Amino acid sequence: MKFFINTLQLAMRVLSARKGRAMLTILGMMIGIASYIIIMSVGAGAQSLIVNQITSVGSNLIAVLPGASDEAGPPAQVFGITVTTLTYEDGVAIQHSPAAPYVVAVASYVKSVEEVSWEGNTIDTSLTGTTSDYPIVEGAYIAGGRFISSDEEKNLARVAVLGKTAADNLFGETDPLNRYIRIKRERFQVIGVMQPQGVTGFQNQDDQIFIPLRTAQRLLLGINHVSFMRIKATDASLLPLSVEQIRLILRDRHDIRAGEPDDFSIRNQLQALDILTSVTNAIRNFLAAIGGIALLVGGIGIMNIMLVSVMERVHEIGLRKAVGARRIHILLQFLIETSLIALMGGVVGIIAGSFVSVLFAFIANYLGYDWDFVLSLRSLTIAVIISLATGLFFGFYPAWRASKMNPIEALRYA
């Protein structure tokens, strides 16, 4: 123990004597550890955002997306691939089929970004074509006016409901109800304004304009398919049964024979959460591997500095060996020095990474995202272990070279 304390004190004196060099070496390790902390914290915060947003809309929802997929993987549409196997009529059939008695409401969607104007004011905003059950499925409420009716949904009505932000950006202090806006070449009457909903699914729900689904398909987009459906069941415990019932209805409508794969994908909330969590975990691991490059650079910097230090202290090493120091003593002396540098860099990196993570969480919440600041004791412990392991790994070669020096040759070194 006395040897360890003395060696530690010697290491502190050596680092104090070479402050500039030590700070630059610590900086490399700090960047690597800070990167790891930020990746872990921001990744966990992103997962919390997904969990909070999925659970906020209810646990009794079912999503239907076009295109087949493996049960454990996301549908092709998640990767930006357009699939046209779902139609408005599919949603109507599910909603009114006696074979799906636990379905409460069905909302179908198409989306685009369009230029919308009113009396010289023009904005670019998200356009959502949807059905009359949207407020029931999404748990949304009207602040003024009303939502799209089932008749307007079917009859290509030119009516629109504005999100709160879209209404403010387009009309300012003017009451938008019963006024006419222009989307592309079509005029739409504003019949309602939604209550603020905030950010859900990485999208500002208030910066949207809602129009009847078939109107969006036929008059604006020139398509006959829907992007996805959301279906509300009577209870979360009935989701598995409802999923199977919906699958049978769609297979029958799409003339899919026994043994042939579905041309659609059905997910309940828990399945969607599991899939998104697995995706974010994969992204976190990939980013952590990239952050490891910074640690590698920091480790190489430690090794280079310690090799220089060994060459500068050849005479000191020879003198210590001449008065009785063994190889293990010299080896431990340099390993303790490198471990001290790595540990100091790790501690500073943890502090810096934690500060950036807190700042990121604050900004995300300020922008309206339900983002949790997550920094586990496990992540901090791993960061400390990584720091020490990096110091020991990259410091071993310089320490080994120092321990192998011949004392007579070292004393002659000038």
CA-derived radius of gyration, the chain: 32
Among candidate residues 262, 294, 310, the one where a domain is terminated: 262
The amino acid sitting at 157 is A
Q: Examine residue 74 and state whether it is found in any structural domain, yes or no.
A: no
Cα–Cα separations (whole angstroms), residue 349 to 30, 91, 257, 354, 384:
4, 53, 59, 8, 10
Same domain, 190 and 293: no
Same domain, 50 and 16: yes
Number of domains in the chain: 2
Same domain, 244 and 348: no
- Which residue from 3, 22, 11 is spatially nearest to 308, judged by alpha carbons? 22
In this predicted structure, what is the pLDDT of residue 54? 63
97-136 pLDDT, tens digit each: 999 999 999 999 999 999 999 988 899 999 999 999 999 9
In this predicted structure, what is the pLDDT of residue 47? 72
Same domain, 101 and 226: yes
Q: Examine residue 223 and state whether it is found in any structural domain, yes or no.
A: yes
CB atoms under 10 Å from CB of 275, counted, come to 18
Same domain, 340 and 394: yes
Among candidate residues 236, 262, 288, the one where a domain is terminated: 262
Domain containing residue 338: 2-54+275-412
| Rounded distance between C-alpha atoms, residue 343 and residue 52, angstroms | 36
Same domain, 231 and 114: yes
Q: Examine residue 72 and state whether it is found in any structural domain, yes or no.
A: no
DSSP code for 100: -
Same domain, 184 and 330: no
Same domain, 284 and 358: yes
Same domain, 257 and 279: no
| Rounded distance between C-alpha atoms, residue 115 and residue 119, angstroms | 13
Q: Examine residue 385 and state whether it is found in any structural domain, yes or no.
A: yes
In this predicted structure, what is the pLDDT of residue 338? 80
Same domain, 216 and 289: no
Same domain, 368 and 321: yes
Among candidate residues 235, 262, 289, the one where a domain is terminated: 262
Q: What's the pTM value of the predicted model, to 2 decimals?
A: 0.60
List the structure tokens of 121: 């004011």
Same domain, 45 and 158: no
267-302 pLDDT, tens digit each: 876 666 666 677 777 777 777 777 677 777 777 777
Q: Examine residue 339 and state whether it is found in any structural domain, yes or no.
A: yes
In this predicted structure, what is the pLDDT of residue 321? 72
Cα angle for residues 86, 89, 95 (degrees, 5° grid): 105
Q: Examine residue 38 and state whether it is found in any structural domain, yes or no.
A: yes
Which parts of the chain register pLDDT below 70? 1-22, 50-59, 69-82, 199-203, 269-276, 291, 312-313, 315, 368, 407-414
